[in-house]
Structure 1
Amino acid sequence: MNNFDDLFEQQPQAEAAPQKQESRKERPKRQWWQVKEEKQRKEAYATLDKIFGEFSEGTGSMEAYLDVQSRFPFHSARNALLIGEQCPDAVRVGGYKEWHAQGIEILEDEKRLPIIILEPGKAYRREDGSVGQNFYAKEVYDISQTTARDQTQPQVSYDDRLLLKGLIASSPVPIRAVEELPQGRGAMFSAEQNAILVKKGMDAPDIFRCVSLEVANVQLAQSMDGYSRETDGYKAYAVSYMLCKRYGVDAKEYEISKLDGVFQGQVPREDIPAALTDMRDTFKSLNGRMARAMGLTRDSKQKEQER
């Protein structure tokens, strides 16, 4: 059995407005695209309403969402839901121009089957003085819909020590190895020491699972007012699961189906999107710090724009 205990002793603390005078020739084309975009946008919102409604009724699948979000940390929770609904096995998406710039083309039969996501546009001010955000429909395609679909996708695996070093570096508080912890726990946050304590002698996957859970809890507590493990702990559980899925750590022990009912009875358009965004933002933040600590470059990750 490898000894990973020494790792814990090595830590350093829109586009411009159109001209008023437009030719008659331009108007039909512009209006046609506007109608198309509006239709796609309405369909995207309808899809999200359906998904949020299912979560509110306790029938939504948290695992389906988390599996997609783990592959797309740079996409918003809403767009991860939209991608998952339209192409659940998607691994890398891009618009026509993005694929074309890489010398990759959309397959002819797939051009009529774009994945519709929502792209932020210009902010605006409401009558009450608050700021709103416009969103526009954007067509993207998964790599499976392109001429690159048959290219072998490399199976990435990470050295255990490198993976744990990345996780340790992502933590907002120090991580320390101890001989024993109460109640047979593998890791726990100590408010007195302001540190995450880890039981010595565990295997790397066990360390990753229990430490990532504590790291996520601490990160959420620091970023959310009134965070409570009793009521919000499921968010940390989901983040830990996504980190495992992202980095190839066995996640079979996670009982994600138990999270399917956490949103039951909540307001579909308010509470649920907010909770999913908390999870996604925490995952994105920890994943980013891990990737930098592990020396992963932008080219070695999915080339996604944040949406």
Structure 2
Amino acid sequence: MSITVTLLEDAIRALATEGEWEKYLKVQSRFRSYSARNGILIARQCPGATQVAGYRTWQSLDRQVVKGSRAIKIVAPVEHANGSVSFRTVSVFDISQTSGARLPVTPQLLLGDDPVGLFDALVEVASGYNFIVSQGELPDGINGLCSHLGRTITISNSLSARHRAKTLAHELSHAYLHGEPGTTRAIAEFEAESVAYLVCHAFGIESASYSFSYITQWAGGPNQALEAILASGERIRTTAEMIVNQAQNLVGHDAAKDVA
């Protein structure tokens, strides 16, 4: 199968020309990370919540909380002049409780199944490269790990089947491309996610909602990502093509499609 990076290049260029990157940075600067306790509180009160923020934060993003929406109660720290810290209850709202300006695409974990069994196929591909794949608990925010020393790949067991397949494609790319020193982490993450996107696309799994923002974050923006594609394009293309061709033999010839 012949693979090019044109699809990826066009998508990243759109982020630059449409001003989506600036919008993305504006949004990300206004969302904060929440503690595990607040994560539990949010999940109990609004199980489907994906992005939560206070009333005024939503207004600053040109969105308005829908009248009658029930606030999600969490706790926030209050620092006092004497250095002590107390906690108070504050109200936040999920994006589903708001209306207004469209927010730019931010990295969203993929949901759903793995329709062609890509994950299992990639496990076999990794095995052929003498890497053992396992699933287990990983720290929050870490979806996968690749160890060249132990020749192991670990995938978080908290991910959906679809995102597990994408993450394994990402970590397998690290296994192939980044075993030797000399590549910065930013370039390594950019290359691995670029390969993962192309591999997933070839098997009908669209990861744009996660991959494009991830790629541009590590590159520093869409313009920098385009420059990085010029520098790493052949490495990305050949690695994606190799993984797709090997996986295709394991999931069936009709499962994959050309990536143009």
TM-score band by shorter chain is 0.3 to 0.5
Normalised by the length of structure 2, the TM-score is: 0.47
Normalised by the length of structure 1, the TM-score is: 0.40
